[in-house]
Amino acid sequence: MKTIKLSDIRIIEIPIVKDSRGNLGVVEGSTIPFETKRVYYLYDVPTSAYRGAHAHKEQQELLIALSGSFDVVVDDGEQKKRFMLNRPDTGLLIPPGIWRELEHFSSGAVCLVLNSGLFEESDYIRDYESFQDSKRPL
Task: Please list the active-site residues.
Answer: 54
88 DSSP assignment: T
Angstrom distance (rounded) from CA 105 to CA 118: 25
A 10 A CB-CB count for 137 gives 4
Nearest Cα to Cα of residue 63 among 7, 110, 6: 110
Are residues 95 and 1 in contact, defined by beta-carbon separation less than 8 angstroms? no
Single-letter code of the amino acid located at 93? L
3-state secondary structure of 20: coil
